[in-house]
Amino acid sequence: MGSDQVFVGKGSSTVYGMSKAALGSLTKSSAIDYAAYNVRVNCICPGTIDTPMIGPSVERFHQMSGMPIDGVYDLRRKAQPIQRLGTPEEIGKAVLFLLSDDCPFMTGALVSADGGYTSQ
C-alpha cells in the first residue's frame, strides 16, 4: 500500500513520503524479479482517505493555523478534483480488482486512487 506521495511531495512529510516512494520502487523491482514465477506485484496509492488517520493531521493544521476543524476538512476535500475524501471501501475495491483475475497482465503498476489529486 503506497500513497499519493509515491508521485508527489508534501510539506512536513519528508520521512513518510520517502518511505512511500521507496515502496513504489520496491513494487517495480519486485514485479520484475517475480514475473517469471507468475507473481504479480502492484501498489495502490491512495490519496486523502476519510479514516481516523487523518484526524491528527487535521488537528496539527488546526493548531498551527487557528482554522476551525471543519474548515481544515473542507480544505482537504477541495484539494481533490473530485471534491471529497476517499473512503476505505473505495480503496478496498481497488485492492479487490488487483487481486482478481480481471487484470492478469498487470504487474509493476502504481495505481492512483486519489480522486485525481496527482493529476493536477
Tell me which residues are annotated as active site.
16
Q: Report DSSP state, residue 10.
A: -
- Contact between residue 47 and residue 113 where contact means Cβ atoms under 8 Å apart: yes
Report DSSP letters for 58-95, one per residue: HHHHHHHH---HHHHHHHHHHTSTTSS-B-HHHHHHHH
